[in-house]
Amino acid sequence: AALKQGLRSQVSAALKEGRVTPTELCQRCLALIRSTKFLNAYITVAEETALKQAEESEERYKRGQPLGILDGIPIAVKDNFNTTGIETTCASNMLKGYISPYNATVVQKLLDRGAVLLGKTNLDEFAMGSGSTDGVFGPVRNPWSYSKQYKEKCVPESHSENEESNWVITGGSSGGSAAAVSSFTCFAALGSDTGGSTRNPAAHCGVVGLKPTYGLISRHGLIPLVNSMDVPGILTRCVDDAAVLLGSLAGHDPKDSTTIQDDFKPFELPNLTDVSKLSIGIPKEYHAPGLSSEILTLWSKAADLFRNAGAKVVEVSLPHTRYSIVCYHVLCTAEVASNMARFDGLEYGHRSDMKDSTESMYAATRREGFNDVVRGRILSGNYFLLKQNYEKYFVKAQKVRRLIANDFVKVFRSGVDILLTPTTLSDAALYTEFIQEDNRTRSAQDDVLTQAANMAGLPAINVPTALSERGLPVGLQFIGRSFQEKQLLTVAKWFEKQVQFPVIQLEEVKRHDSGVFQHQKSASFS
């Protein structure tokens, strides 16, 4: 199916040659969104504006003047990015009905290149969570729950019971974006990544999830969680597509002073054939407590794959790994406490009817607008920032952060090019099981493998690797040197080619398969 293929190999070419038009593509995606509504991946579907954008794109193709490779390509954006004229809610009551007057820089860049914005995707409230289960619009369902591969492995029970209670989570917090890409309703989606929020759902949904180096992509318009760690994330079905998106989004933005000033040159990924010059590091501390034996085996097999192909594979140590999650917990809640202070009901968002005083209005607004998770983090953050606690917690965490970042510097300095680790501890959990523990506990468990990369600001990518015994996706993570995305993605692409991750077999997608798309069994495209 053209939808299953990479941007460059088929769809862009197909658009250029007129084998499919942008409006057809857009309509197919919108129809698929409608028939996969039960996934709850989208909060807002911008049908009218999307069709209009598709029509404009079609005009450009007719004149032989497409804006580039993204012209006419349907994409989705996580609902914590500001989008002009389209509701931006962050899955919170605090911003329900909020229509932003501006586009986030990354959104603007995509629109400027002709991309078709289908809608805003679901997430955990204010991107706080690792399941995409804690937003006010309800949880996102992992498309793989409805795949042939998963259903075949399910213990047969009464069918109606099966459907309703057997679905698994997408992971989070960019679960909606991951589900949207995984279920073929769009070609790429934007997520955000503060502790793993792009890579975690990418792993659970079997898609590529890229966290770029901190400072490479503008955060202007991304509603901030942790200013020193947030990055926009890229979710696609293959590594080449991620490189295309990266090329469109990276670069200095005068509106975001934390973006580096260096010129960014978009690149095409070479087809690596010789890995003998590569040195792959396997950090032993990532053999974390709770890591499933399945994933451990997969990780081992991957290391062997590199070794057998001639690469140097070495065990390395990142000694402060186990404090990473604690450090994150303190710094994250502290920055959240600060960032959430802007929500007072005065200028935008929800406002309480309370009129007695400014403070009581603020308190009531925030009481009504935020869920337990958000309130909990604000209160914890404020606790760590109290004068009597500041040195002991906040400054201490900042010192530990340096130690964590230094661990990586030392390893890369010793000659290692790329680190190979698992992305998650296990495959996706059943929703009914996941919600038995509270958000903070889950996040602490699930972020363990991903969040050190946010601490150190390093680029990292999840590559879907294989299906678990339950028929669900498992991914592996590559972590690269700062601003060395080209090398990181080149290695990821090589790995992707080796593992040949299967295409999801979804009934809904097959139903929309008609003359426009040809069926392809394999996910590899060359």
Partner 1 sequence: QKVSVEVLDQLEHLALVDFRDSEGVERLQKAIQFADQLQEVNTDGVEPMDSVLEDRWCLYLREDDVTEGNCTKELLDNAREKVEEYFVAPPGNIPLPTLEERETFLQGS
For partner 1, the binding residues (CB under 8 A) are 98-99, 101, 214-215, 228, 254, 257-258, 260-261, 320, 323, 326-327, 329-330, 333, 337, 344-349, 351, 354-363, 366-367, 370, 372, 375-376, 378-380, 382-384, 386, 392-393, 395-403, 405, 438, 440, 444, 455-457, 482
Cβ atoms of residues 186 and 30 within 8 Å = no
Residue 263 phi/psi, 5-degree rounding, is: -70, 135
With respect to partner 1, which residue has the nearer C-beta, 166 or 398? 398
Per 3-state DSSP, what percentage of the chain is helix, strand, and coil (rounded to 5)? 45, 15, 40
With respect to partner 1, which residue has the nearer C-beta, 20 or 334? 334
Residue 222 phi/psi, 5-degree rounding, is: -90, 115
Query: How far is Cα 481 from Cα 356, in angstroms, rounded to an integer?
Result: 54
Of 334, 265, 223, 298, residue with least CA distance to 474: 298
Alpha-carbon distance values, 437 to 167, 325, 434, 453 (Å): 17, 17, 6, 25
With respect to partner 1, which residue has the nearer C-beta, 57 or 82? 82
Minimum distance from residue 383 beta carbon to partner 1 (Å) = 6
Minimum distance from residue 519 beta carbon to partner 1 (Å) = 45
Minimum distance from residue 200 beta carbon to partner 1 (Å) = 20
Minimum distance from residue 483 beta carbon to partner 1 (Å) = 9
With respect to partner 1, which residue has the nearer C-beta, 166 or 352? 352
Answer left, alpha or beta for residue 85, where phi above 0 means left and psi between -120 and 50 means alpha: left
Catalytic status, residue 78: yes
Minimum distance from residue 288 beta carbon to partner 1 (Å) = 15
With respect to partner 1, which residue has the nearer C-beta, 62 or 392? 392
Cβ atoms of residues 354 and 364 within 8 Å = yes
Residue 456 phi/psi, 5-degree rounding, is: -95, -5
Minimum distance from residue 166 beta carbon to partner 1 (Å) = 29
With respect to partner 1, which residue has the nearer C-beta, 69 or 226? 226
Count the residues in the chain: 526
Alpha-carbon distance values, 345 to 128, 186, 354, 365, 367 (Å): 21, 34, 11, 6, 11
Could you write out the DSSP letters of every residue in 254-313?
TTBTTS--S-----PPP-----TT-EEEEEGGGS-TT--HHHHHHHHHHHHHHHHTT-EE
Query: How far is Cα 453 from Cα 455, in angstroms, rounded to an integer?
Result: 5
Residue 183 phi/psi, 5-degree rounding, is: -95, 15
Report which residue type is found at 141: R
Minimum distance from residue 219 beta carbon to partner 1 (Å) = 13
State the number of CA atoms in the 13 A half-sphere of 505 facing the CB: 11
Cβ atoms of residues 461 and 485 within 8 Å = no
Catalytic-labelled residue, pool 92, 174, 192, 197: 197
With respect to partner 1, which residue has the nearer C-beta, 141 or 320? 320
Catalytic status, residue 182: no
H or E segment and range at residue 235:
strand 231-236
Catalytic status, residue 197: yes
Query: How far is Cα 242 from Cα 209, in angstroms, rounded to an integer?
Result: 8
Radius of gyration of the chain from Cα atoms? 22
With respect to partner 1, which residue has the nearer C-beta, 277 or 399? 399
Catalytic-labelled residue, pool 4, 12, 78, 493: 78
Q: For tokens 């680790």, what's the residue?
A: 421
With respect to partner 1, which residue has the nearer C-beta, 133 or 145? 133
Minimum distance from residue 399 beta carbon to partner 1 (Å) = 4
Query: How far is Cα 482 from Cα 231, in angstroms, rounded to an integer?
Result: 14
Catalytic-labelled residue, pool 12, 100, 173, 192: 173
Minimum distance from residue 111 beta carbon to partner 1 (Å) = 18
Minimum distance from residue 351 beta carbon to partner 1 (Å) = 4
* Assigned token pair, 346: 């005065």
Neighbours of 130 (CB within 10 A): 29
With respect to partner 1, which residue has the nearer C-beta, 403 or 516? 403
Burial class (CB in 10 A: 0-12, 13-18, 19+), 333: buried
As annotated, the active-site residues are 78, 173, 197
